[in-house]
């Protein structure tokens, strides 16, 4: 089983739609969780951390379910500028050859006019 799994998509949605991505992780000792955004041919950038109680940043809401070991990202009122690949990232602590952050392969979102 992969450490961090995501549906690669693409998710093609119209402007204004609500879209949700899920991510599952295998290491139950994982300590912290993040969503990164990566635009085409650009570097990944932190979108938001994910807290146990759930957290919201404008149109973006992140949820963590430790019991089921999954993380979600909800985007409301999608904008054209939301088109990107969204990476689920899990911190497993000092993980030897894995380092400390494990990146999912990403979910591609395309928002259409």
Interface residue list for other proteins (CB under 8 A) = 8, 31-32, 34, 41-46, 49, 51, 87, 91, 96-101, 103-106
CB of 13 to other proteins, least distance (A): 22
Q: Residue 61 in contact with residue 73, Cβ under 8 Å?
A: yes
Shortest distance in whole angstroms from residue 8 CB to other proteins: 8
- Smallest separation, CB 15 to other proteins (Å): 27
C-beta of 17 vs 105, nearer to other proteins: 105
Whether the CA torsion 85, 90, 96, 99 is positive or negative: it is: positive
């Amino acid at each position: 089983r992969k450490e961090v799994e995501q549906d690669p998509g693409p998710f093609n949605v119209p402007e204004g739609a609500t879209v949700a991505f899920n991510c599952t992780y295998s290491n139950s000792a994982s300590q912290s969780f993040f969503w990164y955004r990566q635009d085409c041919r650009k570097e990944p950038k932190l979108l938001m951390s994910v807290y146990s109680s759930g957290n919201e940043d404008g149109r973006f809401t992140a949820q963590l379910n430790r019991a089921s070991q999954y993380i979600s990202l909800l985007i409301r009122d999608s904008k054209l500028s939301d088109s990107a690949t969204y990476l689920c990232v899990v911190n497993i602590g000092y993980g030897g050859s894995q380092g400390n952050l494990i990146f999912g392969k990403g979910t591609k979102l395309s928002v259409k006019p």
